[in-house]
Amino acid sequence: MAAASQHRPTEAGHVLLTGASGTLGRVLTPGLAAAGHRLRLNDLLPFPDPMPGGARFAAADITDKAALAAACPDDVTDIVHFGGINTEKDPEAILRVNIWGTLNVFELARERRARVIFASSNHAIGFYPRTQQPLAITDPYRPDGHYGVSKVYAEALGRLYHDKHGIESVQLRIGSCLPKPLETRNLATWLSYPDLVRLVLAALAAPEVGYAVVWGISANTRRWWTGDDAHRIGFAPQDNAEDFADQVAPEQGDEVTRRFQGGSHCGIGYSRHS
């Protein structure tokens, strides 16, 4: 018999936020704190902003399982995993940080019976042509690099840990999370900072999520992606990249960059001749 999903505790526990000192971690920290979550912040680098009331910071390398466990409160109920390498890098670095580090996070979640909210990426499906849309979460993976492969691995890990151990997770396939859209591609892929906070808060608050995959994008008129689990967690984005349509720059890059949904990641090291 399959393991059942855990239920939400009656009293709020701690939320461990990995990657807290990164760009998106610094967006999430005040947003989650303002919503009343008890935060334990984690990163290799010190948290550079004023610490919200009740939050604490603990430095730890996610590739060091013992150090990560020591940085995590015993009563953690959720791990918001935004730590790791956030772009295409050397495959060995991706393997060490994004693959091994994410395995450590899920193992910690299994031991603490915590829900995982994971920063996945559109680069898990980046090699779909832009003419092939809309995509749904049921469409096969087409990663556009080693970074994208690491996100595919993490989503599969979330599926495994739910089916085998009953650990709930929400995989957030983030598009382009920016203060505002910068180029024409972002009119489809943009996730505003307020919608990022709404997305993570919804994933934390949902009574039961099982295993869920949600496109991390705002309510963009030109969106390429649909058919996800947003309704299951109660996520309703409020911003729309179309409001900036007259301000964005034309997309730069070669023909490969502009042909595929993953943009510039698709062109890195591209050597196909047909």
Does residue 214 sit within a domain?
yes
Does residue 273 sit within a domain?
no
Does residue 174 sit within a domain?
yes
Q: Is 221 helix (H, G, I), strand (E, B) or coil?
A: coil
Length in residues, the chain: 274
What share of the chain in percent tops pLDDT 90?
95
Phi-psi label, residue 115: left if phi above 0, alpha if psi -120 to 50, beta otherwise: beta
User: CATH number of the domain that 159 lies in?
Assistant: 3.40.50.720
Does residue 155 sit within a domain?
yes
Catalytic residue, candidates 147, 153, 161, 193: 147
Cα atoms found within 13 Å of the Cα of residue 49, Cβ hemisphere only: 15
**Structural domain of residue 153, as residue ranges?**
14-267
* Cα separation, 242 vs 222, whole angstroms: 8
pLDDT over threshold 70, residue 80:
yes
pLDDT 10s digits, 143-197? 999 999 999 999 999 999 999 999 999 999 999 999 999 999 999 999 999 999 9
The pLDDT value given to residue 7: 52
Does residue 144 sit within a domain?
yes
Does a cis peptide bond (omega within 30 degrees of 0) precede residue 52?
Answer: no
Sheet strands side by side (includes 76-81): 56-59, 38-43, 14-18, 76-81, 115-121, 169-174, 211-216
Does residue 1 sit within a domain?
no
The pLDDT value given to residue 9: 55
Number of domains in the chain: 1
Buried b (16+ CB within 10 A) or exposed e, 44-72: eeebeeeebeebebbebbbbebebbeebb
The pLDDT value given to residue 6: 54
Q: In the annotation, is 141 catalytic?
A: no
Does residue 54 sit within a domain?
yes
Does residue 36 sit within a domain?
yes
Q: For residue 161, what are the CA distances in angstroms to 63, 105, 109, 242, 270?
A: 19, 11, 9, 38, 34
φ and ψ at residue 115, rounded to 5 degrees? -80, 145
Confidence of residue 10 (pLDDT cuts 50, 70, 90): very low
The overall average pLDDT reported for the chain is 95
pLDDT 10s digits, 183-205? 999 999 999 999 999 999 999 99
Confidence of residue 17 (pLDDT cuts 50, 70, 90): very high
pLDDT 10s digits, 22-74? 999 999 999 999 999 999 999 999 999 999 999 999 999 999 999 999 999 99
Q: Is 269 helix (H, G, I), strand (E, B) or coil?
A: coil
81 near 57, Cβ under 8 Å? no
* Cα separation, 129 vs 122, whole angstroms: 13
Q: What tokens appear for 32 in the block?
A: 């989650």
